[in-house]
Amino acid sequence: MIIDLRDALRLDDQPGLTGDTLVPVWVVPADWSQWSARRRAFAAAGVADVRAQLRARGSDLVIRQGDRAAVLNELALALDCGVSVARPAGLDERADDRRITRLHYSDARTLYAQDDLPFDAVPEPFTAFRKRVEKALQVAPPVPAPDALPPLPAGIEPGDLPKVDPVESDPRRYRDYQGGEGAAQAVVREYFASSRAGRYKKTRNAMHGAEGSTKFSPWLAQGSLSPRRVWQAVTDYESEHGKNDSTYWIRFELLWREYFQWWTPQQGAALFGSRQLPKAMPDFERWCAGDTGVPMVDANMRELNATGYMSNRGRQNVASFLAKDLGIDWRLGAAYFETHLIDYDVASNWGNWAYVAGDGADPRDDRWFNVLLQGVRYDPKGTYVRHWCDELTLIDNQQVHWPWLAGAPQPMVHPPRWHGVING
């Protein structure tokens, strides 16, 4: 069997690692050159790590560049075997998969198997989905990686690791994100060895610092970490320390991720829109650069550009500002995130953008984030915005989220609903 590790770059809890003939493969993505250097570097580290894991067990990773379907079909024909790959959520990924003969899907990227879902159509909104699966399903325990694997068949050349440009770490970063299964497992062990899981619900919205949320998303997106492994880690933590709202909320967030994995394919092309993306205009470029004049937006965008990461709270704010305050097509923002996020996941990214913009599941025209109120609520002393926006250094706490009142340039827009926040 050929195991295509496209976006499931791990051996732990990896279905299909059995049999006398096993050929793990990774094909350089077709849009590789469109990714930011930081996203490519993170992915390449994950590829290198899984190759090292395979070699330590007697196997290897076959790396190829070119048309993925053609590569896999050629290997399958030469070896007279099928191809297994994790079930995708994205439209392009599924279209590519349809070109592969003898293809088998595994459920390597989800908590649940498709055959176990208690519905044919994914319920909307999320709450309906959550209640159904919580009532009807149990998450299967993860399967540990095998101790040994068969060698590659004779005549199969492994190929070279993808070459990537070195990327410097920004000194303002809160943590280093190293791609790969080894790093993922270390992060999970470290997190649950601390007391952070027990207070997750209270800290999850923090933007400043490294310890607010779990920060598992880069490895979940890469497939270097199984969501079932995280679920099991929560169970183990609760067995030792007891359950509380915070441990449940980690599961809750995993279920949000799960929802989008199944909801996105159901939407098909409708999620991405039938029109071509509009040409990027100066207002959009200023949003990308973190030059809107609104600290809550600018700080988050600068963090994304510098590190490839942004908090969930930040993502909701910058998305709402782009779509609702600037009136720019939200798909431009989703595409920008796709380029830059090291934790880019097609389902979570496009699903959450559509959700905030009011085009997704549970659409609401009034889902608007007052970015000034959000700044006061989640960064009351301006610690986060000052960390990323040097121009705010001398602005006092009372005006740090509306610095134009202290002489800074005016923001790009000034919604009337901001007045109530500024005037207290």
- Amino acid at position 321, single letter: F
Containing H/E element for 4?
Answer: strand 2-4
Rounded CA separation 131/406 (Å): 49
Contacts by 262-266, CB closer than 8 A, 24 or more apart: 262/89, 262/110, 262/114, 262/117, 262/122, 262/129, 263/122, 263/124, 263/129, 263/347, 263/351, 263/361, 264/89, 264/90, 264/346, 264/347, 264/350, 264/351, 265/88, 265/89, 265/91, 265/94, 266/121, 266/122
Say if residue 102 is in the same domain as residue 231.
no
Give percent above pLDDT 90 in the chain. Answer: 92
Same domain flag for 350 and 372: yes
Beta-bridge mates of residue 265 = none
Is residue 140, in this structure, part of any structural domain at all?
A: no
Residue 304 has pLDDT above 80, yes or no: yes
Q: Are residues 195 and 320 in the same domain?
A: no
Kindly indicate the confidence band of residue 424, based on its pLDDT and cuts at 50, 70 and 90: confident
Say if residues 59 and 22 touch (Cβ distance below 8 Å): yes
CATH number, domain containing residue 187 = 1.25.40.80
Q: What is the 3-state secondary structure (H, E, C) of 127-174?
A: HHHHHHHHHHCCCCCCCCCCCCCCCCCCCCCCCCCCCCCCCCCCCCCC
Q: Which of 89, 108, 127 is the last residue of a domain?
A: 108
pLDDT at 365: 56
Q: How far is CA 102 from each of CA 3, 21, 85, rounded to the nearest angstrom?
A: 12, 16, 11
**DSSP secondary-structure letter at 324?**
I
The pLDDT, as a whole number, for residue 19 is 83
Q: Which pLDDT does position 271 carry in this prediction? A: 87
pLDDT at res. 361: 57
Show which of 108, 141, 156 is a domain's final residue. Answer: 108
Return the bridge partners of 83, or none: 2, 103
pLDDT over 90 (residue 362): no
Is position 136 within any domain? no
Residues 226 and 323 placed together within one structural domain of the fold: no
Rounded (5°) CA angle 111-125-232 = 20
Average pLDDT over residues 248-254: 98
The answer for 386, left when phi > 0, alpha when psi is -120 to 50, beta otherwise, is: alpha
For the chain, what is the domain count? 3
Q: What is the pLDDT of residue 360?
A: 59
Q: Is the same domain home to 293 and 379? A: yes
Residue at 135 is within a domain = no
- Pull the structure tokens for residue 186: 């270390």
What would the mean pLDDT of 111-116 be, rounded to a whole number?
97
Six-digit token pair at 117? 């879902």
Question: Same domain for 194 and 229?
Answer: yes
Query: Is residue 124 assigned to a domain?
Result: no
Examine residue 114 and state whether it is found in any structural domain, yes or no.
Answer: no
How confident is residue 353, by pLDDT bands cut at 50, 70 and 90? Answer: very high
User: 341 and 235 in one domain?
Assistant: no
In a domain, 97, yes or no: yes
Mind listing the pLDDT tens digit for each residue in 397-423? Answer: 999 999 999 999 999 999 999 999 998
CB 145 within 8 A of CB 282: no
Residue 83 lies in a domain: yes
Q: Which CATH number do you get for residue 380?
A: 1.10.579.10
* Same domain, yes or no: 266 and 286: no
Is 20's pLDDT higher than 90? no
CB 408, CB 395: distance < 8 Å: yes
Give 30-59 pLDDT, tens digit per residue.
Answer: 999 999 999 999 999 999 999 999 999 999
Q: Return d(Cα 75, Cα 65) in angstroms, integer.
A: 13
DSSP characters for 208-272? SSSSSS---HHHHHHTSS-HHHHHHHHHHHHHHH---HHHHHHHHHHHHHHHHHHHHHHHGGGGT
What's the CA gap between 334 and 40, in Å, rounded? 18
* Least confident span in 95-99, 110-114, 364-368, 413-417: 364-368
Domain limits for position 186: 181-270
Statement to judge: residues 294 and 354 lie in one domain: yes
| Average pLDDT along the chain | 95
Same domain, 324 and 261: no
Q: Are residues 334 and 402 in the same domain?
A: yes
In 3-state terms the chain splits into helix, strand, coil percentages (rounded to 5) of 50, 5, 45
Domain-embedded: residue 58:
yes
Q: What pLDDT is attached to residue 367?
A: 77
Of 243, 270, 297, which residue sits at a domain end? 270
CATH number at residue 46: 3.40.50.620
Contact 369, 415 (CB under 8 A): no
Please report the pLDDT score of residue 280 as a whole number: 83
Strand (E) or helix (H) holding 84: strand 83-86
Q: What is the Cα gyration radius of the chain?
A: 22
Worst-scoring range by mean pLDDT, 178-192, 253-267, 286-300, 347-361? 347-361
Cβ of 129: how many Cβ atoms within 10 Å?
22
Q: Are residues 85 and 190 in the same domain?
A: no
Residue 241: pLDDT over 90: yes
Reported as a single tens digit per residue, the pLDDT across 174-211 is: 999 999 999 999 999 999 999 999 999 999 999 999 88
The answer to whether 241 touches 198, Cβ cutoff 8 Å, is: yes
